[in-house]
């Protein structure tokens, strides 16, 4: 059996490990335009800040691919898939035949429609090469503008602050993390970032132009302000890499549509990770959940099925977390309530404790949470409660009294945590 895996991120590598476990002799080839072995994107901004050493970024050792008898084609991207002939064409003109193909190409940063956005000095953060360019630019820079108030932008801001830069975070929305929080979370979320020296957060504001002679020198804002800067980092969300699915008959929506075995509408072709629409338990429908843990899990399920096992993906609960100089916010499941949802907000004792939890219920089921401060410690337990999809009526009173400690409710959760896939 010939397996081709497009992508060397968590989805691709988890798939290859699962395939090799089930099929010790099949021919596996992994393709990636990047030249690095499997590394952690989650640590990139800590590496930019100088808090993580280069070797610690890697999640596998140099011998990993050889030991697993996996061929690598690094430095080349898939450009076209011919499902009729079962062939993938690569940017280096190589053609790879397959019996089973996995799409695990992740996503790419969105480029905002802003004048001057292609000037040298404007950066995106998706890969290690991006991080290296940012770190290099930061070494001789003093002032940075970060466009966007989402998870990656805030992590990038922390990385740049860690390098000693003064940072302006320009946010279109009226609040930070607007995609994963509700308006009532704005003040407690902002408190995590407020007071950080050299950090300026500018909500309700857009960068209208990036300007400079040959490279970035300043950013113009919709509020009329102008910020002199040496670097701009853009974090305005990502788009799944679907280019090579065009003309293949693979059904797509926002991402690649898959069944519960992670198979696409074309037999023999599977998809996993940031480009796939896996089942989202809290939302009760398929969605692109751009999360590391979902990519690992979906990759494992896809790999098992590609190798002939019958394993289903029951769905996942989105868990985003941002730590910022010791402060932490975590969001789980559905955080923006819809009609019929019940919302309860719990603030910690003392107005300046910083502890905060907002829980979203639907018909006695917990479906979402925003957690700040010490409440973040309960994220794992609450995620399990959401994932189990059964009534929390018996412990709802405890949850609403803020008794969400692991010890307090563990007896109701033990044995019911999200299942682990085993091939």
Ligand X SMILES: Cc1cc2nc3c(=O)[nH]c(=O)nc-3n(C[C@H](O)[C@H](O)[C@H](O)COP(=O)(O)OP(=O)(O)OC[C@H]3O[C@@H](n4cnc5c(N)ncnc54)[C@H](O)[C@@H]3O)c2cc1C
Q: What is the DSSP letter of 421?
A: P
200 CB-side CA count, 13 A: 11
Residue reference for tokens 């029951």: 314
Q: Is 32 in the site for ligand X (CB under 6 A)?
A: yes
Q: Which of residues 158, 185, 230, 274 is near ligand X by CB under 6 A?
A: 274
Out of 4, 16, 44, 399, the only residue in the binding site for ligand X (CB under 6 A) is 44
Nearer to ligand X, 10 or 212 (CB): 10
Q: Which residue has the tokens 């189990």?
A: 388
Nearest approach in angstroms of CB 140 to ligand X is 22
Binding to ligand X in span 45-64, by CB under 6 A: 45
- Minimum CB distance to ligand X, residue 340 (Å): 29
Residue 273 engages ligand X in binding (rule: CB under 6 A):
yes
155 contributes a contact to ligand X by CB under 6 A:
yes
For residue 127, the minimal CB distance to ligand X (Å) is 6
Residue of 234, 252, 235 lying closest to 243 (CA atoms): 252
* Least distance to ligand X, CB of residue 211, Å: 26
Give the binding range for ligand X (CB under 6 A) out of 53-61, 98-106, 258-266, 342-350: 98-106
Tokens of 220: 């113009």
Give phi and psi for 76, each to the nearest 5: -140, 145
Q: Name which position in 3, 4, 7, 149 contacts ligand X (CB under 6 A).
A: 7
Applying CB under 6 A, which part among 113-121, 285-293, 361-369, 370-378 lies near ligand X?
Answer: 285-293
Q: Is 355 helix (H, G, I), strand (E, B) or coil?
A: coil
Identify the helix (H) or strand (E) that includes residue 63: none
Q: In whole angstroms, what is the distance from residue 330 CA to residue 337 CA?
A: 16
Residue 240 CB, shortest distance to ligand X, in Å, is 9
Whichever of 32 and 378 has its CB closer to ligand X, that residue is 32
Three-state secondary structure string covering 305-339 = HHCCCCCCCCCECCEEEEEECCEEEEEEECCCCCC
Shortest Cβ 272–ligand X spacing (Å): 7
Q: Which is nearer to ligand X, 42 or 115 (CB)?
A: 42
What is residue 103's three-state secondary structure?
strand
In DSSP terms, 232 is beta-bridged to 122, 145
Q: Where are the beta strands (DSSP E) in 7-58?
A: 27-32
125 binds ligand X (CB under 6 A): yes
Judge whether 366 and 317 are in contact, CB under 8 Å: no
Q: Which stretch binds ligand X (CB under 6 A): 47-55, 56-64, 99-107, 309-317?
A: 99-107
Q: Which is nearer to ligand X, 178 or 294 (CB)?
A: 294
For ligand X, which stretch binds (CB under 6 A), given 142-150, 261-269, 290-298, 341-349?
Answer: 290-298
CB distance 375 to 386 below 8 Å: no
* Angle formed by the axes of helices 10-22 and 292-306, nearest 10°: 30
- The SS3 call for residue 174 is coil
Q: Is 42 in the site for ligand X (CB under 6 A)?
A: yes
295 touches ligand X by CB under 6 A: yes
DSSP letter (8 states) at residue 34: S
Query: Which of 121/273 has CB closer to ligand X?
Result: 273
Q: Is 294 helix (H, G, I), strand (E, B) or coil?
A: helix
Query: Alpha-carbon torsion 350, 356, 361, 366, what sign?
Result: negative
| Residue 104 found at the interface with ligand X (CB under 6 A) | yes
In the set 57, 78, 266, 375, which binds ligand X (CB under 6 A)?
A: 78
Nearer to ligand X, 233 or 392 (CB): 233
Name which of 44 and 359 has its Cβ closer to ligand X. 44
**Cβ proximity to ligand X, 241 vs 378, nearer residue:** 241
Nearer to ligand X, 103 or 409 (CB): 103
With binding defined as CB under 6 A, does residue 105 bind ligand X? yes
Alpha-carbon gap, residue 300 to 97, rounded angstroms: 22
Cα–Cα distance between 148 and 236 in angstroms, integer? 5
For the bound state, the minimum distance from the C-beta of residue 327 to ligand X, rounded and expressed in Å, comes to 15
Q: Is 226 within 8 Å of 220 (Cβ atoms)? A: yes
Pick between residue 44 and residue 229 the one whose CB is nearest to ligand X.
44
Strand partners, 369: 332, 359
Site for ligand X in 195-254 (CB under 6 A): 241, 244
Sign of CA dihedral 249, 253, 259, 263: positive
Site for ligand X in 363-382 (CB under 6 A): none
Residue 290 within binding range of ligand X, rule CB under 6 A: yes
Which positions lie near ligand X, rule CB under 6 A?
6-12, 31-34, 41-42, 44-45, 77-78, 104-106, 125-126, 152, 155, 241, 244, 273-274, 290-293, 295
């Amino acid at each position: 059996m010939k397996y081709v895996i497009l992508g060397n991120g968590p989805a691709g590598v988890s798939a290859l490990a699962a395939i090799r476990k089930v099929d010790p002799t099949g021919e596996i080839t992994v393709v990636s335009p990047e030249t690095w072995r499997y590394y952690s994107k989650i640590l990139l901004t800590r590496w930019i800040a100088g808090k993580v050493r280069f070797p610690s970024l890697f999640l596998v050792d140099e011998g990993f691919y050889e030991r697993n008898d996996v061929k690598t084609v690094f430095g080349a991207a898939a450009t076209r898939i011919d499902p009729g002939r079962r062939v993938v064409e690569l940017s280096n003109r190589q053609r790879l035949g397959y019996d089973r193909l996995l799409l695990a190409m992740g996503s790419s940063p969105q480029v905002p429609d802003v004048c001057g956005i292609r000037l040298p000095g404007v950066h995106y953060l998706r890969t290690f090469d991006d991080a290296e360019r940012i770190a290099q630019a930061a070494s001789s820079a003093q002032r940075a503008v970060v466009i966007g108030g989402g998870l990656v932008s805030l992590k990038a801001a922390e990385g740049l602050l860690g390098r000693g830069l003064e940072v302006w975070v320009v946010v279109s929305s009226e609040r930070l993390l607007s995609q994963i929080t509700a308006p009532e979370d704005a003040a407690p979320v902002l408190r995590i970032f407020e007071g950080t020296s050299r950090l300026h957060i500018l909500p309700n504001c857009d960068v209208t132009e990036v300007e400079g002679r040959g490279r970035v020198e300043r950013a113009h804002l919709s509020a009329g302000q102008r910020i002199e800067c040496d670097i701009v980092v853009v974090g305005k969300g990502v788009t799944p890499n679907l280019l090579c699915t065009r003309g293949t008959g693979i059904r797509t929506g926002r991402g690649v549509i898959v069944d519960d075995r992670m198979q696409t509408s074309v037999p023999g072709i599977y998809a996993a990770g940031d480009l796939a629409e896996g089942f989202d338990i809290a939302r009760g429908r398929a969605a692109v959940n751009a999360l590391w843990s979902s990519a690992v899990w979906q990759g494992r399920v896809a790999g098992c099925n590609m190798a002939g096992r019958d394993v289903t993906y029951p769905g996942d609960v989105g868990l985003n977390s941002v730590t910022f100089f010791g402060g932490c916010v975590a969001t789980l499941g559905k955080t923006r309530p819809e009609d019929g949802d019940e919302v309860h907000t719990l603030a910690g004792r003392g107005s300046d404790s910083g502890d905060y939890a907002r829980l979203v219920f639907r018909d006695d089921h917990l479906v979402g949470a925003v957690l700040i401060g010490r409440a973040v410690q309960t994220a794992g337990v609450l995620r399990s409660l959401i994932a189990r999809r059964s009534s929390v009526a018996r412990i709802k009173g405890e949850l609403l009294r803020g008794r969400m400690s692991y010890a307090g409710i563990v007896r109701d959760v033990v044995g019911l945590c999200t299942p682990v896939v085993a091939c």
